[in-house]
Amino acid sequence: MTARTAAAVSALTAVAVAVVGLASPAHAADPVLRDLAAAKGKYYGTAIPAGRLTGTHGSVAAAQFDSLTAENEMKWGSVEPTRGSFNWTGADQIMNFAAANGQKVRGHTLVWHSQMPNWLANGSFGNDELRTIMTDHVTTQTARYKGRIDQWDVVNEAFNEDGTLRASKFYTQLGESYIADAFRAARAADPAAKLYINDYNTDATGAKSNGLYSLVQRLKAQGVPIDGVGFQTHLIIGQVPSTFQANLQRFADLGLDVAITELDIRMTLPTTDAKLAQQKADFKAVTNVCLAVARCKGVTVWGFSDAVSWVPDVFPGQGAATPYNEGYQPKPAYYGIAEALGWSGDSGGENPGPTGTCAVTYAVQSQWSSGFTAGVTVRNTGSAPINSWTLKWSWPAGQSVTSAWNATVTQSGTQATAVNASHNAAIPAGGSATFGFNGTWNGSNTAPSAFTLNGTACTTA
């Protein structure tokens, strides 16, 4: 056993201890994805926010994955919020965590139309000045982490769905040459990093990936230092494209590396066993695509736990897009990845946690002109204890939570999310937890009709 494997095993043990008491905790024999992938000559990575490097999230990230991508902390808006003034705090934290855990880092991302700092997005610059701003930024960031980045997403999401180049600030002012210039600046500052162009909805053959294919052909013909193409692979269950492998292979045949860079596979909530089984097949199929293409370097999931995923914020009513549930229990998808990577162990039934084992009572306790107070009781009707919980619901009439007690309640659009307080995190079988909040209403104050606990539908009383 290597020192790194020993560290991973000990981290896994810590995780197993952390989730003890859940219906189906990580099993002693659960596979280690990073080791399985390494045995196949690939890496298996995850995106992670700097704020999640500790606790169970950090332990699982270290134990299971051998590549990290900063979910937001290396984006231009994060590192240079004010022109010429850099904040590397979050990016450095992720770099240091990766180094401590023997993980590669995918740098994400240098030039992107989104998450630009306001001074750049809203500023007016002449073409020469904008080009200099861009290449200076690329140079500064790649130089800072010189020799420590495995792959850089130099240019992100440059394409429209029809395969034409997106009218970003850079393209509109500088034309296609901004892409070549960004790659040249990155190569000059960090010759060791593999330089990627990265995009979404390019997994299948079709107009968008054809546009990308033509561009990289042109870049190669011009001698631009591009090494790879990243396929984000944000999918919906049951929709892994049939042309995925052939598409990756045609890019590889241009003499480029390829990588699956932001894999998640979402579903309409709540989860069901059938949807989770489909998701398992899909994660397995995507992993197999990378295994089948020699120049596919590895797979990165865009978050590994349903507790931390961008999906529900952007696609209301959808989620559960990652391999672990909100309670950090492996889902069938996790075992699908492991099986693709050659694992043939016992998944212990693949029950991802309390399924149909919760009942919620919601009551408006008082109501006045525009406000109200409500109480919520969450009952564990299963046979196994729950040791942490996240309750979600959707407001039917535009209500909004203003303050809460005995839980932390946040709201995004009509979606409300309550996370346990430390004192009521554990709910024994047959037990319950209560919390309350004040909210605002207007027109009607209809009660929510459906709740999910750790991603699973509850009955309502």
- Please, which residue, 8 or 248, has the CB nearer to ligand G3I? 248
Q: Write down the least CB distance from residue 284 to ligand G3I, Å.
A: 22
Asked if residue 114 binds ligand G3I (CB under 6 A), the reply is: yes
* Tokens linked to 179: 């892409």
State which of residues 171, 310, 315, 362 lies at the interface with ligand G3I (CB under 6 A): 310
H or E element: which one contains 208?
helix 207-221
Q: Write down the least CB distance from residue 75 to ligand G3I, Å.
A: 7
- Contacts of residue 188, Cβ cutoff 8 Å, sequence gap at least 6: 139
Looking at this protein, which amino acid is placed at residue 130? L
User: What is the three-state SS of 26-83?
Assistant: CCCCCCCHHHHHHHCCCEEEEEECHHHCCHHHHHHHHHHCCEEEECCCCCHHHHCCEC
157 given a catalytic annotation = yes
Asked if residue 242 binds ligand G3I (CB under 6 A), the reply is: no
State which of residues 103, 232, 279, 445 lies at the interface with ligand G3I (CB under 6 A): 232
Q: How far apart are CA 232 and CA 323, in angstroms?
A: 16
- Please, which residue, 48 or 291, has the CB nearer to ligand G3I? 48
∠ at Cα 347 (346, 348), nearest 5°?
90
State which of residues 35, 71, 257, 306 lies at the interface with ligand G3I (CB under 6 A): 71
CB 379, CB 59: distance < 8 Å: no
* Tokens linked to 102: 């023997």
Binding mask 181-210 for ligand G3I (x = CB under 6 A): -------------------x----------
- Please, which residue, 71 or 257, has the CB nearer to ligand G3I? 71
User: Which one from 80, 262, 326, 350 is the annotated catalytic residue?
Assistant: 262
CB 59, CB 14: distance < 8 Å: yes
Asked if residue 315 binds ligand G3I (CB under 6 A), the reply is: no
Q: Tell me, rounded to whole angstroms, the distance of Cα 29 from its chain centroid.
A: 26
- Please, which residue, 85 or 114, has the CB nearer to ligand G3I? 114
Closest CA to 265 of 197, 327, 190, 322: 322
- Please, which residue, 86 or 362, has the CB nearer to ligand G3I? 86
Asked if residue 80 binds ligand G3I (CB under 6 A), the reply is: no
State which of residues 54, 115, 442, 446 lies at the interface with ligand G3I (CB under 6 A): 115
Closest CA to 333 of 244, 267, 388: 267
* Beta-sheet strands, E only, within 5-135: 43-48, 67-70, 104-112
Binders of ligand G3I among residues 351 to 410 (CB under 6 A) are: none
Sheet containing 432-440: order of strands: 400-405, 432-440, 371-380, 358-367, 459-460
Closest CA to 456 of 335, 347, 319: 319
Asked if residue 262 binds ligand G3I (CB under 6 A), the reply is: yes
User: Which one from 157, 326, 339, 350 is the annotated catalytic residue?
Assistant: 157
Asked if residue 10 binds ligand G3I (CB under 6 A), the reply is: no
- Please, which residue, 11 or 301, has the CB nearer to ligand G3I? 301
Asked if residue 72 binds ligand G3I (CB under 6 A), the reply is: yes
- Contact footprint for ligand G3I (CB under 6 A): 71-72, 114-115, 200, 232, 262, 310
- Positions marked catalytic: 157, 262
